Amino acid sequence: MTPLIEVRGLCFRYEDGTAALRGVDFRLDPGETVVLFGPNGSGKTTFVLHLNGLLSGEGTVRVCGLPVDKRNIPEIRRKVGIVFQDSDSQLFMPTVLEDVAFGLLNRGFDRAAAISRAQAALATVGMSAAASRAPYHLSAGEKKRVAVAGIVAMEPEVLVLDEPTASLDPPGQRSLAELVSHLPQAKILVTHDIPFALALCQRAVFFQGGVIAAEGTVEDIVSRFDWDFSFGGSKLRH
């Protein structure tokens, strides 16, 4: 099976000298949903920003067989859609429908086709009734659904969701899990939310100090690590 994403020896150092990634190998196959666990600062978000060329380090990153380089960035960004933690950073147009259509128009779709696909994406996430509303009037859960719609409208092959349940109450978390479970794309979730990961993911990888320290089922990884992330870290149980 040809992987959708294949990463080998990925290293990345920020301008201040901080080594964020220290040789990461990773593979995502079609149909998989994988969770990235790990303490804050362990390299998870830095890693996923390499998957559509927002960051570029040393090593190799391939998406659907294409190397992630300047020549392929437009095609890569059509294949990997990222839903960021802060929905407000992705919602900025006057209405929900215009927001979801924005990326399509930016890609050169004519307005009628963009609106049609945006409406279909809103229906997919259960937000058709909000099409004419201003995004800033929405609840946190509604904003997250609209942000997902904006990515789904682009029809990527891989969805990356960074801390998708942040700011959501328990009903909102369950509702989002149900939505995500029905989306057809392969998915990478960056989260500390164990119930959310258990509901969706076949595999978990654990980042620590810029490397993948462990891989396994969600249950296996949870049983091996101390999960008190609120104080900045976790330790492998011996």
Distance CA 148, CA 13 (A): 30
Residue 51 lies in a domain: yes
Distance CA 165, CA 167 (A): 6
Q: How many domains does the chain have?
A: 1
Return the pLDDT at 224.
85
Return the pLDDT at 80.
96
**What are all long-range contacts of 192-200, with beta carbons under 8 Å and residues at least 24 apart?**
192/37, 192/163, 192/227, 192/229, 193/165, 194/218, 194/222, 194/227, 196/164, 196/165, 197/35, 197/37, 200/33, 200/35
Range of the structural domain that residue 54 is part of: 5-90+157-227
Residue 174 lies in a domain: yes
Residue 145 lies in a domain: no
Return the pLDDT at 233.
39
Distance CA 137, CA 118 (A): 19
pLDDT tens, 162-193?
Answer: 999 988 889 999 999 999 999 999 999 999 99
**161: CATH:** 3.40.50.300
Q: Say how many Å lie between the first and final Cα of the chain, rounded.
A: 35
Return the pLDDT at 223.
86
pLDDT less than 70: residues of the chain = 226-238
Residue 220 lies in a domain: yes
Residue 123 lies in a domain: no
Residue 176 lies in a domain: yes
Residue 112 lies in a domain: no
pLDDT tens, 124-170?
Answer: 999 999 999 999 889 999 999 999 999 999 999 999 999 999 888 89
Read out DSSP for the chain? ---SEEEEEEEEE-TTS-EEEEEEEEEE-TT-EEEEE--TTSSHHHHHHTTTTSS--EEEEEETTEE-SGGGHHHHHHHEEEE-S-GGGT--SSSHHHHHHHHHHHTT--HHHHHHHHHHHHHHTT-GGGTTS-GGGS-HHHHHHHHHHHHHTT--SEEEEESTTTT--HHHHHHHHHHHHH--SEEEEE-S-HHHHHHH-SEEEEEETTEEEEEE-HHHHHHHB---GGGT---B--
Residue 147 lies in a domain: no
This prediction's pTM: 0.90
